[in-house]
Amino acid sequence: MQPLPTPEEMSRWDRAAIERGIPEFTLMENASREALHTLLQLVGTVAHRRILLFMGGGNNGGDAACLARHLHDAGAETLVLHTRPLKAYRGTAGRHLRLAKACGVTFASASGWPERFRATPWDPSFTGIPNSGPDIVVDGLLGTGFSGTLRQKELTLVRSINGLASRALILAIDIPSGLSGLTGQPCPEAVRATATVTFEAAKPGLVLPQAAPFTGSLHVRPIGMPRVVRETLPPSFCLIQKDSDLSVSLPAPDCHKGTAGSVLIIGGSEGLVGAPHLAARAALRSGAGLVSIAAPEDLCDAIKANCPDIMTRPLGTPGNRCWTPGLLDDLKSLLASCDTIVLGPGLGRDTETAAFVRNFLLLDRPRTVLDADALHALAALPAALSSLKSSDVLTPHPGEAGTLLGLTAAQIQGDRLAALNSLKALAPSVWVLKGAGTLVGTQGKPSAICPLAVPNLAVGGSGDVLAGCLGALLARRQQKTDTWHIACLAVLAHAEAGKQLATRFPARGNTASEIAEALPSALATLLDASS
């Protein structure tokens, strides 16, 4: 899948490329030319366009100076506003600055902008209207190495750039200034770009949903980074997207219900009979051959809800409506005949239920998806975490993640990447942190980011549908892919189902059942994308 290096990892890539003999001057030249091509793709031509470029003090500023030279040569009226004295620019950025100046690019101090440039043309060789303002603004103030909080000088310039958004196209080089390349959060404000061109690979903060108002359209352009660098320095994150290699495969011609996968849903309690039903329906719609729900005997009819496609496995004696460790004896005979278990939808949160979950995890069992109330049981009895396997999948939403980590949902949402790392430390399983920009992580693998934010998934029961989809994809016997990849596929299929529903329900209003019904079409779309 597409790599997402952190800002620090991207710096390592740059250093490794330079150590192998690619001059930094060349990398900056390549980056600026890719920025030019992106701009031409957006506007068609830059001839006679008034373009204002902001040049910060680092290599991002060097990219801006180099881009200004290409724009000047293409016939644009360019003005570069620098934040440091020109003599203070050293190294590769200084070399590109001097080259641009020697080629006729106009430079001026950013101090006092915009008042100083309201009354006069930028370049006497052009006959423009002095007060018309720029057509295009290029943000080269701060790169992905920025961290902390904007200083007052940069904050003022960021606000001034944003003040031009109503009349000028704003292109951010590498990342909008003020935006964290790791978290996608403004610090405390950031340039709101029309488009962002980033080089060689996107960074995690650029693809997270909260970054979209700042990045605009995101363009990832190659600058000649050697493959050996990318392979020997693998990044901490990767991107889940339609063209990812997620091994969506057609069923074998001789497929039958026994080889299509058997899923056992364990869940349901008084007042919560819909959750296991939704999980079972999603498992069927995701291709499982056999789907059963194990539940207390007296709840099975309500859970089945007259659906002939779903089988129920009553547990305990007639009249039983509760989960107790004693029900495990009835369950043991079912485990050998199923490929995957989904544990938790509508399970309830009684003390006895938590004890049931703890004892169940000790059994010899197939791959298990733990969702909803099973996660609350783990939080109540954290010693049970030691019984989790690397092949298990846990799917907390922010509230459930907070319960497991002793944090609030708001704290989880404040730094989702850090929360995922904390969850990964609890157990070697695959963790799916649900929400806008769902994250998938496990020890020894890059953390995967699904960049989609789909409001149509924000409905009760949506998480049960994802759990059922996961169970079905894990159960396919012909599926040789590891658990982490399958979890990524399920997350993408779930998001794609929500996207398809958005065309029918643009103002939302769909149900979780309709998300389940959309899964076959979503998986077909992903099959087409991967073939």
Q: Which of 109, 125, 65, 123 is nearest to 90 (CA)?
A: 65
Q: What is the pLDDT of residue 126?
A: 42
Does the pLDDT value for residue 129 go beyond 50? no
The model's pLDDT over 428-440, given as tens digits with 9 standing for 90+, comes to: 999 999 999 999 9
SS3 label, residue 199:
strand
Q: What is the pLDDT of residue 252?
A: 79
What is the residue range of 73's domain? 2-239
Question: For 498, what's the count of Cα atoms within 13 Å in the CB-facing half-sphere?
Answer: 24
Would you say residue 248 lies in a domain?
Answer: no
Does the pLDDT value for residue 132 go beyond 80? no
> Residue 529's pLDDT band (boundaries 50, 70, 90)?
low
Reported as type and span, the H/E element at residue 465 is: helix 462-475
Q: Name, in order, each residue with C-beta under 8 angstroms of 46's C-beta and a sequence gap of 6 or more.
A: 39, 40, 71, 74, 75, 76, 136
Would you say residue 524 lies in a domain?
Answer: yes
**DSSP of 139-168:** EES--TT--S---HHHHHHHHHHHTTTTTS
Would you say residue 368 lies in a domain?
Answer: yes
- In angstroms, the CA 233 to CA 320 distance is 56
Contact 325, 356 (CB under 8 A): yes
Same domain, 129 and 266: no
Domain containing residue 301: CATH number? 3.40.1190.20
Q: What is the pLDDT of residue 13?
A: 97
**β-bridge mates for residue 302, sequence order:** none
Inter-CA distances, 345 with 76, 269, 371, 402, 450, Å: 61, 9, 6, 18, 23
The model's pLDDT over 85-106, given as tens digits with 9 standing for 90+, comes to: 999 999 999 999 999 999 999 9
Same domain, 278 and 416: yes
Q: What is the pLDDT of residue 131?
A: 52
Domain containing residue 230: CATH number? 3.40.50.10260
Whole-number percent of the chain with pLDDT over 70: 93
**β-bridge mates for residue 94, sequence order:** none
Same domain, 233 and 266: no
Same domain, 90 and 197: yes
Would you say residue 251 lies in a domain?
Answer: no
Same domain, 140 and 268: no
Among the ranges given (255-264, 432-441, 466-475), the one the predictor scored with the smallest mean pLDDT: 255-264
**Helix 274-285 to helix 512-530 angle, to the nearest 10 degrees?**
20
Mean of pLDDT values over 328-341: 93
Same domain, 389 and 351: yes
Q: Looking at this protein, which amino acid is placed at residue 124?
A: P
Would you say residue 147 lies in a domain?
Answer: yes
Does the pLDDT value for residue 478 go beyond 70? no
Same domain, 230 and 294: no
Residue 464 CB coordination number (10 Å): 30
Q: What is the pLDDT of residue 127?
A: 43
349 vs 476, residue with greater confidence: 349
Residue with tokens 């869940």: 267
Would you say residue 246 lies in a domain?
Answer: no
The model's pLDDT over 488-522, given as tens digits with 9 standing for 90+, comes to: 999 999 999 999 999 999 999 999 999 999 999 99
Considering its fold, how many domains does the chain have in total? 2
Contact 306, 383 (CB under 8 A): no
> Residue 125's pLDDT band (boundaries 50, 70, 90)?
very low
Would you say residue 257 lies in a domain?
Answer: no
Same domain, 510 and 449: yes
Q: Looking at this protein, which amino acid is placed at residue 501?
A: L
365 vs 251, residue with greater confidence: 365
Same domain, 381 and 234: no
Residue 397 CB coordination number (10 Å): 20
Same domain, 121 and 199: yes
pTM: 0.92
Structure tokens at 397: 């939403």
